[in-house]
Structure 1
Amino acid sequence: MTAQVQAVVFDLGETLVDETRHWAMVARYTGVPEFTLAGVLGGLIERRENHRSIFGLMQIESVDPNVIGYRIEERDLYPDVVPVLRQLRAAGYRLGVSGNQPEGAAEQTAALGLPFDLIASSAIWGVSKPDPAFFERIASELELSPPQIVYVGDRLDNDVLPAQAIGMHAVFLRRGPWGYLHAGWPEMATVVHRIEHLGGIHQVIERIDGDRTKRVSPSEAADVAFLRDQNETGVP
Structure 2
Amino acid sequence: MIRAVVFDIGETLVRDDRYWGSWADWLGVPRHTMSALVGAVTALGLDNAEAIRMIRPGIDLQAAYREREHSGRGEFLDETDLYPDVRDSLQTLQRMGLRVCIAGNQTAKAGSLLRGLNLPVNAIATSGEWGVAKPDAAFFDRVIKLAGVAPGETLYVGDHPVNDVVPAKEAGLTSCLIRRGPWGLLWGNDMAVPADLRIAGLADLPALLSSLGRNDGRSEKL
TM range (shorter): 0.7 to 0.9
Structure 1 residue ranges without an equivalent (≥5): 212-227, 229-236
Asked whether the 8 Å contact 1:153–1:173 carries over to 2, the reply is: yes
In the alignment, the residues of structure 2 paired with residue 149 and residue 192 of structure 1 have an alpha-carbon distance, to the nearest angstrom, of: 12
CA pair 49-92 structure 1, distance change in 2 beyond 3 A:
same
Corresponding position of 1:25: 22
Query: How many angstroms does 1:142 deviate by?
Result: 3.0
Instruction: Provide Cα deviations, 1:164-197, integer angstroms capped at 9, x if missing partner.
Output: 2222111000111111122265632x22210001
TM-score, scaled to structure 1:
0.81
Q: Could you tell me which of 29, 52, 62 is aligned with 2:49?
A: 52
Q: Which amino acid aligns with 1:36?
A: T
Q: Is 1:5–2:2 an aligned residue pair?
A: yes
CA pair 40-185 structure 1, distance change in 2 beyond 3 A:
farther
Length, aligned pairs only: 208
Q: Could you tell me which of 11, 16, 23 is aligned with 1:14?
A: 11
Instruction: Provide Cα deviations, 1:189-217, integer angstroms capped at 9, x if missing partner.
Output: x2221000101112432355368xxxxxx
In the alignment, the residues of structure 1 paired with residue 148 and residue 37 of structure 2 have an alpha-carbon distance, to the nearest angstrom, of: 41
> Which stretches of structure 1, 4 residues or longer, exceed 4 Å deviation after superposition?
none
Tell me which moved more, 111-120 or 53-62: 53-62
Corresponding position of 1:146: 151
Query: How many angstroms does 1:70 deviate by?
Result: 2.6
In the alignment, the residues of structure 1 paired with residue 65 and residue 21 of structure 2 have an alpha-carbon distance, to the nearest angstrom, of: 13
Corresponding position of 1:205: 209
Structure 2 residue ranges without an equivalent (≥5): 216-221
TM-score, scaled to structure 2:
0.86
Q: Which amino acid aligns with 2:38?
A: L
Corresponding position of 1:107: 112
Corresponding position of 1:223: none
Corresponding position of 2:219: none
* SS at structure 2 position matched to 1:119: strand
Asked whether the 8 Å contact 1:193–1:204 carries over to 2, the reply is: no
In the alignment, the residues of structure 2 paired with residue 163 and residue 101 of structure 1 have an alpha-carbon distance, to the nearest angstrom, of: 17
CA pair 26-110 structure 1, distance change in 2 beyond 3 A:
same
Q: Percent identity?
A: 34
